[in-house]
Structure 1
Amino acid sequence: MNHATLRKFEVPLLESLGYEVFLPKIFPYDEGNLSASIDYSRDAGLSIPSQELDVLNRHDFYSGLSPEVAEIANRHFDIAFFGFFPPQLAGLIRQFKNVCVMRPFGLANGVTYTDVTVASLKYFFLDELQKNKSRFWFGQAYDHLAEIETGVYLEKAITLPLGLDDARVTDEWTGEDAKILFVCPRIGSSPYFNYIYRNFLRTFGEYPYIIGGAQPIDIPDSNVTGMLPRDDYDRMMRRTRVMFYHSQEMRHLHYHPLEAVRLGMPLVFMAGGMLDLLGGASLPGRCKTEAEAKKKIKAILDGDKKLIATIKASQGVLLRSMSREFCEIGWRKEFPKIEASVDHCRAQAMANSNKRKKVAVILPAAYRGGTLNMVKLLAKMLRRGSLEHELGVDVVFGYPDNPIYSEADWRDLYAEGIETRPFRTAEIDGVDLSEIQACLGYEPKTQKTRFTLHKDGTYDFLDCDFWLLGSDRYVHPIAPLRPYCVFAHDYLQRYYIPLMGNDYERGFIETARNGIAVLANTPHTIEDIVHYVGKPRNQTILVPHVAELDQLEDDSRTVKKGSYFIWTTNLGPHKNHVKTLKALNQYYTGYAGKLDCYVTGVGSDQLDPNSEVDDSRLPDHIKDARAFIRKNPQLAKRLNILGDVSSLEYAAQMKGARFLLHNVIMDNGTLCAVEAAYVGTPTLSSDYPPMRYISERYSLNAEFFDSSDPIFLAKRLQEMEIIWQSKQAVLPSVEHLKQFGWRGVSYDFFSSIKGILGVK
């Protein structure tokens, strides 16, 4: 925490309890930290090695914990005290091994910390909190804050009274400036404070006034001072005739009315707020109505010495519960509970050394081909990477209960010790979700949204600590019952609008937005996640791009290069079929192309106009492709449409091809180019950012063309006839490519997601 006034009181108190105290040196300059500052004064007395202290001092603890900082913190700190900053709370719960004491100071009437936690970190974070409750404390500043909370916040509430340094009346007030001092920050940036400011002007605007408080946006009012240096602020308080405090919040109190009392400044305040609980219920400065406040303030501005003396003589009672003497009693009473949990953490760390995290990797829909392979790779990298980190995460692979799958599809997962589990999806509404959540001890507000559940017939994956969703393709967002992240393959709909219907975005986008993080394996898709999905950049993770090379390693046959190139595709509308076919037709008719074109990929057999397919059931772009082939017999004669072949057949055909043709409008890049290079086949690809990234990452030296220009592609095909051998000569070695296989990148993959898994 960096709150200057709070630090001045609580740090010496913690030191008196026998603790060294580290103070963060970086904080975000935002509206939650307008009273924050930096203090290096304790660094010299810390037993932390200087090199590690430098790392801590350079870190922004408000954004969470990096792996390096988490390791240092876990080694040196027994307890973390922190304010209610949701990313900070999440980072500590997920990555700090020791005791966490949150310091709530109260919220507006009707708002709970539970509600704000759910809104900021999603409901599933409460499950994480529940699992870590033995090392968590809701260290409330006032003893009545937790009474409106539920779950862990209510169960683990202790009162550590909020104090004020030197909480005694110093009587430094002089009051020669006959104005009202009203502290109201963030007028231009907060609707809440803007309303308070306007209400103050409506009631007291006819009197001379000064508005204190930090203003991130300039206010066109010469009476608004903005943020002042501490000495200037104190001088203003000493000189101004009276302070008015508006708040009638029962669970939040600002420091400034107490600072006014400490200086001996008359305080006029509204009844019904926190000051009543601190002894202000019978004070002469208390007002039940604005009219009463206005009358008293006018009298003070006019110099009513009797009223001023009466208010000043009695209001010191407000400081009693803020004094070191009073607060230290409460702290010393409750601190043994915190220290007992420190001891419990140490014992539990030993007992849980063999306890393993369990993560479900879920294939959302009945995919085959590249998407299925990629999601299986995620599961294998997660499992192997955890073992390489000596953490041993158990992995469950969930897949749709669909006859297109057989046990043969999961043999590679079984070989890695990964459990598989079929599921069926079910929809629930907000009422159903609230009933589930209520069983866990919370009283959430019912949402109107519908949600998706994975029903596996037993635990519905609730036996897992974390879900890694292999895609965001959900009609309705996932029920937030466990923390999860999403792997985003691409956002084609951003570039090819007809891809989906009018309502496609809601489930997809909300599923991504609601997760802890969204993963992607190309920088281009990361940018789509930020700018299209709207996910904050610090909630995106660029994971290593990986190539599935096992199917090629299993095929040791030597295949002679044939008189053909290979076009890998599927039925997706972004695959640019008609323009590719136009280019091929021009290649054969205009450039007397010598190489045949072999076509492979899931569903590609439906491009064959002679295949027995009901045209009425085909999408328009496939109908157009079939019609084009039918009208151009010379093209049809040179196409060899293989369809979805086995892995061994695919490897053989790729080995025999002179080059690979890849033409799409946009996607996340194709691994086929890496597979082609592995077997000595160069690539000719449409030019777009992910393919440029893949070519550079793997050193493919691919050739590129404009996907919108069939004539140019025809010319490039003719050129590849001639240069394919020279392009083959500059392909990367097998040894070079193997380092990008899933085994080679598993360690780095796990490193990139370790923090969000909560693995310590």
Structure 2
Amino acid sequence: MKSQLEIPSNFYEPLTIAVVMPHPWKGGFFRVACMLANMLSELDFRGRPISVILSVPPDYEYETTFLKPNVRVNSFLIQQVKSDDERFVSEEARNRLCSEGNELPVVSAVTTYPLRDTRLVDSIDGYILLNALFYEGVFVSTKPTAIYMADLIQRHVPAIYGAESNYDSPNWTADRNQRATLKNAHAVFTTTPGTKQDVLTYGGVSKSKHVDFPLFFIDIAEKHINSPKEVVGQFTDLLTGEKITPGESPYFLWVTNASPHKNQVNGLDMLRSYYDQGGDLDCYICGPVTELLVPGASALPYLQSVHAKIKSLGPLASRLKIVSYVNEGFYLELLRKAEFLWHNVLYDNGSFSIIEAKIVGTPILSSSYPQIKYIAETYDIGCEFFDPRSIEDGAASLAQMSRRKTRSKPTNMAINQVDFRKNLLSVLELMFPIKN
């Protein structure tokens, strides 16, 4: 008779989790991935340490500044597989995906090489996907999968997927794949009440699979606050080719991208009204792929409407300065020197930019919508709000902020580490349930 508890053979082996970025998105999205990977690497789960791989798209350019040294980085590739291939598709997933007689295409990490020495997909014990949006099919794996859902913007701003109503168009096919992937996951977690509701009602996720998370972010300004400020040189305005030295003339900063949910068309009308009424601040525009806002840079219908708006400004367009995407140091200095941050959006899961503005002491003018108000209240961020669908209110709010002369002191901000760890362990419990 055994006198002690029998220990499983893999008890001391690390549990290997891949945090997966399916798309080469920049900025806050990458930092979210880093935050998840870092926190996972500090945990142990039922006595096992966790080995973490951050899986990014091939040729993705990234900085290791925000990653802990023990987090490995490698490429993530998917490939379509047959729905009856038991190596990749569980019986439960197969029954769910084919239950309505309309078999969906499926993809899996067939050619993922997270460990260069073994090149084995089997090296992974589980996946945490960020947003899980795949054009090629529904993500499946015989390994447990969890999903962090930042938002389901298309439910509220369908224009982000184009004007066509064809459900078989690539974007709406990806939406169908995403929602099926959500239903198929072992766990789904969100950070705001609005996105949670979207995941449950639009995504069809069972409440038993959902985990509430505190908002999490990496304070990119922390290392800059108590150190000498970086000297930001000139940048080239993409609209005119002119060399601009930030701070030579006063400006506010519009952080955006090229998606319709960022409200560029209404925003440009607000700017026209603001300048027509004597507005005296330039507007610097920065963010991922904002170079596509330059007239002639894209043939996409929505962006062409943005281009037309910019051209219609005539001489007033000289007040716009498109900076495009910049590194964190440059961005923080642009934010510090700005008279205020303009967060102009129709709908999303909130913005890290308002947190970053609070950290460096820059006033904030933000669209009014549930997620951003939740974040502002949670972190005591003193935003001024405007209606993003009202040109009159937007222009008046810009004018009011332009007259504001008070700034806050820079401050440190931190996430709730205790809740973050606790809820991350809850996700792992759903991914790896104890079998009877």
Of 249, 255, 258, which aligns to 1:568? Answer: 255
Does residue 1:538 correspond to 2:208, yes or no?
yes
Is this contact kept in 2: 1:598–1:639, CA < 8 A? yes
Give the equivalent residue in structure 2 for 1:643: 324
Instruction: State the Cα distance separating 1:361 from its structure 2 match.
Output: 0.7
Give the equivalent residue in structure 1 for 2:63: 409
For 1:553 and 1:661, locate their aligned partners in 2 and report how far apart those are by CA, in whole Å: 24
Q: Which amino acid aligns with 1:574?
A: H
Which residue number in structure 1 is paired with residue 143 of structure 2? 482
1:713 aligns with 2:394: yes
| Post-superposition CA distance 1:713-758 (Å, at most 9, x none) | 1101111122351xx34x7x623x1x228x6865345344242243
> Partner of 1:74 in structure 2?
none
Q: What is the distance in 2 between the residues matched to 1:594 and 1:533?
A: 45
SS at match of 2:73: strand
Q: Is the 8 A contact 1:388 1:747 kept in 2?
A: no
Q: Cα distance, 1:693 vs. partner?
A: 0.8
Aligned-partner Cα distance in 2 for 1:418–1:379 = 7
Cα 1:734–1:436, aligned 2, differ >3 Å: closer, same or farther?
Answer: closer
Instruction: Label 1:391 to 1:702 Cα distance change in 2 as closer, same or farther (>3 A).
Output: farther
Which has more radius of gyration? Answer: 1
Counterparts of 1:521-560 in structure 2, within 5 Å, are 521-554=191-224, 556-558=227-229
CA contact (8 A) 1:490 1:668 kept: yes
CA distance in 2, matches of 1:365, 1:684: 30
Distance 2:193 2:310 in 1: 37
**Structure 2 unmatched ranges of 5 or more:** 231-245
**SS state of the match for residue 618, structure 1?**
coil
Q: How does 1:500-511 map to 2 (within 5 A)?
A: 500=161, 502-503=167-168, 504=172, 505-511=175-181
1:456 aligns with 2:115: no
Q: How far did 1:377 drift?
A: 2.0
What letter matches 1:687 in structure 2?
Answer: S
Q: What aligned pairs does 1:580-595 form with structure 2 within 5 A after superposition?
A: 580-590=267-277, 592-595=278-281
Q: Which aligned pairs between 1:315-714 and structure 2 lie closer than 5 A?
A: 346-348=5-7, 353-384=11-42, 386=43, 392-402=49-59, 405-406=60-61, 408-413=62-67, 415-431=68-84, 433-434=85-86, 448-454=103-109, 455-457=111-113, 459=119, 461-475=121-135, 476-500=137-161, 502-503=167-168, 504=172, 505-554=175-224, 556-558=227-229, 563-590=250-277, 592-609=278-295, 613-614=296-297, 617-714=298-395
AA of the residue aligned to 2:105? R
CA distance in 2, matches of 1:547, 1:365: 19
From 401, 423, 427, give the equivalent of 1:753: 427
Rounded to whole Å, the distance in 2 between the matches of 1:634 and 1:551 is 36
Aligned residue identity for 2:70: G
Gaps in structure 1 of 5+ consecutive residues: 1-339
From the superposition, tell whether residues 541 and 631 of structure 1 become closer, same or farther in structure 2 (CA, over 3 Å): same
- Aligned residue type for 2:189: L
1:189-338 mapped onto 2 (5 Å cutoff): none
Describe the superposition over 1:660-689 as per-residue Cα deviations: whole angstroms up to 9, x where unpaired: 101111100000000111011121111111
Contact 1:467 1:482 in 2 (8 A): yes
Separation in 2 of the partners of 1:583 and 1:690?
22
SS at match of 1:550: coil
The DSSP-based 3-state class of the residue aligned with 1:597 is strand
For residue 424 of structure 2, what is the amino acid of its counterpart?
A: F
Please give the alpha-carbon distance, in whole angstroms, between the structure 1 residues aligned to 2:146 and 2:394: 39
Q: How many residues align?
A: 396
Q: 1:437 to 1:698 in 2, by over 3 A?
A: closer
Shift of 1:554: 4.0
- Name the Cα RMSD after superposition: 3.0
Structure 2 residue matching 1:427: 3-state secondary structure: strand
SS in 2 for 1:364: coil
Cα offset, 1:525, TM superposition: 0.3
Same amino acid, percent of matched pairs? 25
The whole-number CA distance in structure 2 between the counterparts of 1:684 and 1:391 is 46
Structure 2 counterparts to residues 65-144 of structure 1, below 5 A: none
- Taking structure 2 as the reference length, what is the TM-score of the superposition? 0.82
Q: Say if 1:596 and 1:638, in contact at 8 Å, map to a contact too.
A: yes
Once residues 584 and 509 of structure 1 are traced to their aligned partners in structure 2, the CA distance between those partners, rounded to angstroms, is: 37
Question: Structure 1 residues 522 and 345, CA, compared in 2 at 3 Å: closer, same or farther?
Answer: farther
**Are the equivalent residues in 2 in contact too, given 1:394–1:418 (CA < 8 A)?**
yes
Report the CA distance between 1:711 and its aligned residue: 1.2
- Which amino acid letter does the alignment assign opposite residue 412 of structure 1? F
AA at the equivalent of 2:281: L
Match of 1:248 in 2: none
Residues 434, 712 of structure 1: alpha-carbon distance in 2 compared, 3 angstrom cutoff: same
Query: SS in structure 2 opposite 1:677?
Result: helix
Cα distance change of structure 1 residues 353 and 462 upon mapping to structure 2, 3 Å threshold: closer
Residue deviations 1:292-326, cap 9 Å, x none?
xxxxxxxxxxxxxxxxxxxxxxxxxxxxxxxxxxx
Checking the alignment, whether the CA contact within 8 Å between 1:470 and 1:487 is kept in structure 2 is yes
Greater relative CO (CA pairs within 8 A, separation 6+): 2
For 1:166, the equivalent position in structure 2 comes to none
- Structure 1 window deviating more from structure 2 (544-553 vs 597-606): it is 544-553
Opposite residue 566 of structure 1, the aligned amino acid is L
Matched residue of 1:346: which SS? coil
SS in 2 for 1:675: helix
What letter is aligned with 1:753? V
Contact 1:383-1:416 within 8 A present in 2 as well = no
Tell me the CA shift for residue 633 of structure 1: 2.7
Residue 635 and residue 540 in structure 1: after superposition, are their counterparts in 2 closer, same or farther (change >3 A)? farther
1: distance between equivalents of 2:125 and 2:193? 28
